[in-house]
């Protein structure tokens, strides 16, 4: 009988995609393993995980709302109920190991599993540890990290440097530029910017690009623009017919490999999962860290690349004035582009999913 593994967390693609990558690696190494995901009701993992072929159970849990304190009144009750449900899930599923990838559901599940004597592993994606993982650190057995200096947050003896798991199919871009151009309906001969605001889109990036379209047209540059479902209709109406020869607008990119392959330069937020993919892709990158994340961790993620001359960074506040101009300048600066490409490619870790999966199976008592 295969080992039973429970994986908890989610909330954003930055947590969900690494979780699925770890699960896929576990199945490659131990095909008879049984996996159960635990997420937060109403969050995107409840859709994405079943689509990847795995069972998921939802907890009625939320994070702290820093903008509206009264909305936190039900939080203690939801936390108590989530811990109770997590305890029942652990009793019923009887996991050999529990894995937490961050997100609302990760805290109650890992806390409960550790209390019940289940070996536990945390996968911390960011260069600045989240509050849930910091609180869980002394209760778990292993903490897999993607940045140096994480012993300022976690017990040194528990840390294992693994890098962040990536979607392998998303970074497989070799010899795909012409295929990408055909399927995306763009020219393979023109300089191309890829703008990706993450799975939900990014308001600042969208507004900056809308304002800067005339500059792109003047420079004869084309744009692959992943804007998010929330913004798609309004942007499509704003763009109209005027820019159709220069802009490929889409709510969500289902084939990131083609978008990466077609791009000469990439504009993105600085989520840890995004950065891990960008390192594997090895294109020049302009990062615009989101200010709307806990502990401003995206700025710290971006700074880790800047310190190694591996990316350009424009702050969210300065983006309206600087983003388009700096991107075009970098696009036409061959020497700086090549420097950034070489340095970011050197940071790529392609097998993080399997390294973490092996450690998960080791904790579960399996030799691989």
199 marked ligand binding residue: yes
Query: Residue 58 phi/psi, 5° resolution?
Result: -100, 140
Q: Does 298 carry a binding-site annotation? A: yes
Tokens found for residue 76: 């203690």
Task: For residue 14, say whether it is annotated as part of any ligand binding site.
Answer: yes
Q: Is 24 annotated as a binding residue?
A: no
The rounded distance, in Å, linking the Cα atoms of 307 and 192 is 26
CB 310 within 8 A of CB 248: no
Determine the pLDDT at residue 265.
Answer: 98
- Closest by CA position to 144, among listed 114, 165, 115, 173: 165
Q: What's the rounded Cα separation, in Å, for the pair 45 and 102?
A: 12
The token pair at 246 is: 């220069």
Q: What are phi and psi of 165, to 5 degrees?
A: -65, 145
The structural domains of the chain, with segments of one domain joined by +, span: 4-165+351-363, 169-345
Which of 52, 42, 44 is closest to 15 using CA atoms?
44
Q: At what angle do helices 13-29 and 272-281 cross, to 10 degrees?
A: 60
| pLDDT one digit per residue (tens) for the chain, 368 residues | 799 999 998 877 778 889 999 999 999 999 999 999 998 888 888 999 999 999 999 888 766 555 655 565 666 677 768 888 999 999 999 999 999 998 778 889 999 999 999 999 999 998 888 888 899 999 999 999 998 899 999 999 999 999 999 988 899 999 999 999 998 999 999 999 999 987 677 899 999 999 999 999 999 999 999 999 899 999 999 998 888 889 999 998 989 999 999 999 999 999 988 999 999 999 999 999 998 877 788 999 999 999 999 999 999 999 999 999 999 999 999 999 999 999 999 999 999 999 999 999 999 998 76
Q: Do the annotations mark residue 274 as ligand-binding?
A: no
| The domain over range 4-165+351-363 is classified in CATH as 3.40.50.2000 | yes
- The CATH T-level fold of domain 169-345 is Rossmann fold (3.40.50)
Separation between Cα atoms, residue 24 and residue 4, nearest integer Å: 14
């Amino acid at each position: 009988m295969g080992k039973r593994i429970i994986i908890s967390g989610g909330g954003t693609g930055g947590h969900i995609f690494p979780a699925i990558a770890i699960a896929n690696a576990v199945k490659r190494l131990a095909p008879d393993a049984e996996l159960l995901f635990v997420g937060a009701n109403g969050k995107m993992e409840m859709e994405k995980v079943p689509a990847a072929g795995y069972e998921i159970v939802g907890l009625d849990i939320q994070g702290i709302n820093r903008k509206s304190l009264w909305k936190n009144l039900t939080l203690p009750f939801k936390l108590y109920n989530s811990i109770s449900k997590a305890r029942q899930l652990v009793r019923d599923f009887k996991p050999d190991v529990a894995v937490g990838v961050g997100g609302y559901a990760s805290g109650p599940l890992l806390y409960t599993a550790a209390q019940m004597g289940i070996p536990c592993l945390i996968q911390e994606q960011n260069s600045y540890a989240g509050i849930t993982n910091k609180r869980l650190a002394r209760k778990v057995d292993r903490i897999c990290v993607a940045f140096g200096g994480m012993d300022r947050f976690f017990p040194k003896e528990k840390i294992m440097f693994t890098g962040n798991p990536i979607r392998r199919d998303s970074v497989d871009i070799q010899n795909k530029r012409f295929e990408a151009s055909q399927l995306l309906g763009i020219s393979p001969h023109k300089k191309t910017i890829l703008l990706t605001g993450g799975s939900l889109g990014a308001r600042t990036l969208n507004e900056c690009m809308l304002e800067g379209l005339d500059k792109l047209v003047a420079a004869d540059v084309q744009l692959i623009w992943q804007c998010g479902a929330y913004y798609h209709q309004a942007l499509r109406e704003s763009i109209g017919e005027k820019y159709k020869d220069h802009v490929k607008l889409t709510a969500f990119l289902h084939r990131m490999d083609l978008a990466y392959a077609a791009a000469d330069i990439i504009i993105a937020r600085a989520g840890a999962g995004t950065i891990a993919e960008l390192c594997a892709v090895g294109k020049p990158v302009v990062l615009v860290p989101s200010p709307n994340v806990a502990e401003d961790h995206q700025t710290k993620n971006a700074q880790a690349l800047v310190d190694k001359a591996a990316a350009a960074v424009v702050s969210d506040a300065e983006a309206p004035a600087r983003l388009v101009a700096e991107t075009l300048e970098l696009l036409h600066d061959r020497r700086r582009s090549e420097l950034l490409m070489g340095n970011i490619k050197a940071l790529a870790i392609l097998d993080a999913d399997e390294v973490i999966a092996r450690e998960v199976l080791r904790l579960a008592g399996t030799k691989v």
